[in-house]
C-alpha cells in the first residue's frame, strides 16, 4: 500500500554510479518535504563540478569532526527554516540520512542524484486479483 500524503522516491549511488538505489520515504508534513528537498542537496557528489551546483558531502571516504559539525550546522539551519526539530548530534543526523539515501560500506554518505515527490490524497492499495466480467 502507498500511504496518503507525500511519497518521495530518492535515487542515490556511490563511487562512479555503483550500487544504485531508490528509497521510498513517506511523510504527511509539507514542511518536511521542503526541508528534505534542500537537505538532499547537501549530499551531491564531492566531485560534482557542474555549473550551478556546489560539491556536496556525497562520495566521501572519510570526514573530519569539523566536516561532520559543518553538515550538522547546515542541517539544523534548514530544520529551523522549516520549523522542524533540530538534529541532536551527528549520529541522529546520520540515521536520518540513512533513511533517505541508504548506507554504504565504503563511503560516509551516498550521493544524492534525484528525488521525485508524489502527493496522494488517499491510500492506494495494490491489486492482488482481477475479476473476470
The 3-class secondary structure across the chain, one letter per residue, is: CECCEEEEEEEEEECCCEEEEEEEEEECCHHHHHHHHHHHHHHCECCCCCCCCCCCCECCCCCCHHHHHHHHHHHHHHHHHCCCCCCCCHHHHHHHHHHHHCCCCCCCCCEEEEEEEEEECCCECCCCCCCCC
User: Tens digits of per-residue pLDDT, 83-124?
Assistant: 999 999 999 999 999 999 999 888 889 999 999 999 999 999
pLDDT at 133: 64
pLDDT at 104: 87
The dihedral sign for the CA sequence 46, 48, 49, 54:
negative
Which residues, in sequence order, are CB contacts of 15 under 8 Å at separation 6+? 59, 106, 107
User: Tens digits of per-residue pLDDT, 41-50?
Assistant: 999 887 776 7
Q: Which residue has the higher pLDDT, 31 or 128?
A: 31
Q: What is the mean pLDDT of the chain?
A: 91
Residue 95 CA to residue 80 CA, distance in Å, equals 19
Amino acid at each position: 500500500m502507498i500511504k496518503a500524503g507525500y511519497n518521495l522516491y530518492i535515487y542515490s549511488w556511490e563511487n562512479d554510479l555503483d550500487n544504485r538505489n531508490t528509497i521510498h520515504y513517506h511523510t504527511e508534513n509539507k514542511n518536511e518535504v521542503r526541508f528534505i528537498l534542500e537537505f538532499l542537496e547537501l549530499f551531491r557528489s564531492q566531485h560534482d563540478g557542474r555549473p550551478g551546483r556546489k560539491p556536496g558531502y556525497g562520495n566521501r571516504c572519510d570526514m573530519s569532526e569539523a566536516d561532520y559539525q559543518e553538515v550538522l550546522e547546515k542541517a539544523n539551519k534548514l530544520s529551523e527554516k522549516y520549523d522542524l526539530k533540530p538534529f541532536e548530534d551527528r549520529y541522529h543526523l546520520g540515521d536520518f540520512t540513512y533513511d533517505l539515501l541508504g548506507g554504504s560500506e565504503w563511503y560516509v554518505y551516498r550521493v544524492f542524484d534525484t528525488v521525485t515527490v508524489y502527493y496522494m490524497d488517499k491510500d492506494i492499495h495494490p491489486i492482488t486479483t482481477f475479476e473476470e466480467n
